[in-house]
Structure 1
Amino acid sequence: MVLLLPSTSIVIFTFVTLVSSVCNLVTSDPLCPPEYLEHEIPITKEDIDMMQFAENLEHLECDLFLWSALGFGLDHVAPQLVMGGPPPIGAQKANLDFHTRKLIEEFAYQEVGHLRALKTTVGGFPRPLMDLSAKNFAMIMNEAFGYELVPPFDPYRDSVSYMMGAYVVPYVGLVAYVGTNPNLKGYVTKRLLAGLLGVEAGQDAVIRHYLYDRAGEVVHPYNHTVAEFTNRISGFRNRLAMCGIKDEGIIVPHYLGAEQRTESNVLSADINSLSYSRTPPEILRIVYGGGNESVPGGFFPHGANGRIARNFLLDQPSHN
């Protein structure tokens, strides 16, 4: 698979444009000073690799949300962002009520914007092959519960099922951004990450609140509540990542709640109520579904794209 990295001319153009914009701000509007300190670096090569890694997760969310809400994906909405990548496997329109569909439609268009911002700032690569089939989600749920659910879990069945399926994805991107943040050097990429993280965190909070409002409901046709589903999914992701507790369901023991005084857990966070962070290997272990960053599977049957992800793959040429 050919990976398209940004050319030097794109980075130089971005830098010149930003410098020009900053100068215009300084001279034209003293009440609105520039966001960045003088003589800072806009983008580094390492920043490009790290932010391109995020494009895999943004592609995953984008097509999941677009297909579920509208019945078509990125190929229809913004085909230039696909860059020739294959269509996702098994994506379909979900059976959503009006309110839920409008939420997911908004999320979908937000993800289109995220991909545009990333690819125009740090360059991009063809959309990787993704498996968004009900069968793949069913396998995730079976692993989370430790036995085969009957009938197989289908996130496209109804609104609650869909939001539990959606619970599987945005939080992974959120913690990936938190983990990337301290490693960035350029002010352009730092600003980009902060903008992306703010919206990703908001999406995750909406999904978690939606499920928290239904925490005690038994999910048809299974004898498990919504809260138990979230706890099982979060526990499964912790096991896959193999780096301790960095993921929590919507109802937790007091020792995991805010200040160890609450069982409600609408926002998943550490002992100081700060967002957890994950590294690229942890993220790949989760989205590949097998706990190994070198063995593709799960949402990415052929592996994620970009220099960082491809360098983890066994028997794969690295891309420079």
Structure 2
Amino acid sequence: MATPLLYSAIILFLLPLQLITAVPSCPRDCEPADATDRDRVHFAMNLEFLETEWFLCGAHGIGLDAIEPEYAEGGPPPIGCKKANLDRVTRRVVEEFGYQEVGHLRAIKTTVGGIQRPLIDISSENFAKIFDEAMGYCLDPPFDPYEDSIKYLMGTYVIPYVGLNGYVGTIPCLQKFETKKLVAGLMGVESGQDATVRAWLYKKANENVEPYNITVAEFTMRISELRNKLGHCGIKDEGIIVPPELGAENRTSSNVLSADYNSLSYPRTPAEIARITYGTGDEHRPGGFFPEGANGRIAREYLYNDKLKVL
């Protein structure tokens, strides 16, 4: 028969476990905000919508509404969708990426339900603004990612990596097996897409992007610097060529895969991702790829409140 002393010991032993379960493991600021698994995946779905439209439009000149319109949940069509002037191999790869993104939307919708597609701006004008800001001056002529394969790949450099960072930051905060399994699967393909693009660009690192006297490597460096600046949480983004002190084991300037000191993928929070994809450096102020802001509870809380509530 258990004694009162034994009961007290058991309670004292279990109490810390209860507190560990109750206290959120992911605080705010440069760490993920408190949220449910469903809310976290819904935030990521905004990036999946962006990538879906970008790749399908680049390959075919048509977006999600022509492939699986019900996945958009009645959301507005993207701004600036058009077919890119791609060589055969690049087009085939981009086409594959686009269909992969449709699968991602289906997987998310099946697992946690969907959200309405937000208004997305993938226009040449929007990309021109991003590249002007990255370079610190207005490019002449304005940068147009749809003009040829190398420019399209440069435009692609801007997008999937941020989604990958988001999944890396999200997984440690997930609670349920099914959402962990979902996000792990999504992250695997996102990382593959990013690696494919980076490797492609690395092969052309020292070539100028016409008609600019700017190399592919310098463009990637400037875009990464811009994302770090907008994110406000330190260096989590690196170009395809880096100083040796940022290379793997401080021994190489090649940087086909962007990673930290231990060669682990960098994480980003929803707030950081919103700051970057909005192009404003402020998760409360939409713009950039999401002119009216992203959808889902996390994104809407950022837009409607000065600080994210505990969800």
The TM-score with structure 2 as length reference comes to 0.87
1:159–1:302 CA distance, 2 compared to 1 (3 A) = same
Unaligned segments of structure 2, at least 5 residues = 1-34
| 1:211 matched residue in structure 2 | 201
Alignment map for 1:279-294 (pairs within 5 Å): 279-294=269-284
| 1:61 matched residue in structure 2 | 51
| 1:230 matched residue in structure 2 | 220
| 2:99 matched residue in structure 1 | 109
How far does the alpha carbon of each residue in 1:106-125 deviate from its partner, in whole angstroms, 9 at most, with x for none?
00000000000001111111
How far does the alpha carbon of each residue in 1:277-309 deviate from its partner, in whole angstroms, 9 at most, with x for none?
000100000000010000000000000000000
Shift of 1:79: 0.7
Pick from 115, 140, 143 the counterpart of residue 150 of structure 1: 140
| 2:14 matched residue in structure 1 | none
Pick from 58, 71, 74 the counterpart of residue 84 of structure 1: 74
How far does the alpha carbon of each residue in 1:44-71 deviate from its partner, in whole angstroms, 9 at most, with x for none?
x810010111100000000000010011
For residues 315 and 212 of structure 1, the distance between their equivalents in structure 2, rounded to whole angstroms, comes to: 41
Pick from 134, 138, 154 the counterpart of residue 128 of structure 2: 138
Whether the 8 Å CA contact 1:154–1:161 is kept in 2: the answer is yes
How far does the alpha carbon of each residue in 1:231-261 deviate from its partner, in whole angstroms, 9 at most, with x for none?
0000000000011100000000001000000
| 1:274 matched residue in structure 2 | 264
For residues 111 and 286 of structure 1, the distance between their equivalents in structure 2, rounded to whole angstroms, comes to: 20
| 2:177 matched residue in structure 1 | 187
Alignment map for 1:285-304 (pairs within 5 Å): 285-304=275-294
How far does the alpha carbon of each residue in 1:204-231 deviate from its partner, in whole angstroms, 9 at most, with x for none?
0000000000000011011100000000
Does 2:210 correspond to 1:220?
A: yes
Unaligned segments of structure 1, at least 5 residues = 1-44
Shift of 1:315: 6.5
Whether the 8 Å CA contact 1:295–1:314 is kept in 2: the answer is no
Partner-residue secondary structure (3-state), 1:157: coil
How far does the alpha carbon of each residue in 1:67-102 deviate from its partner, in whole angstroms, 9 at most, with x for none?
100111100100110110000001110000000000
Partner-residue secondary structure (3-state), 2:42: helix
Shift of 1:314: 3.8
The TM-score with structure 1 as length reference comes to 0.84
Partner-residue secondary structure (3-state), 1:239: helix
For residues 238 and 314 of structure 1, the distance between their equivalents in structure 2, rounded to whole angstroms, comes to: 25
For residues 82 and 314 of structure 1, the distance between their equivalents in structure 2, rounded to whole angstroms, comes to: 23
For residues 61 and 216 of structure 2, the distance between their equivalents in structure 1, rounded to whole angstroms, comes to: 26
Pick from 262, 287, 300 the counterpart of residue 310 of structure 1: 300
Whether the 8 Å CA contact 1:155–1:162 is kept in 2: the answer is yes
Number of aligned residue pairs: give it. Answer: 275
Whether the 8 Å CA contact 2:207–2:216 is kept in 1: the answer is yes
- Of all paired residues, the percent bearing the same amino acid is 64
For residues 235 and 74 of structure 1, the distance between their equivalents in structure 2, rounded to whole angstroms, comes to: 31
| 2:114 matched residue in structure 1 | 124
For residues 144 and 71 of structure 1, the distance between their equivalents in structure 2, rounded to whole angstroms, comes to: 27
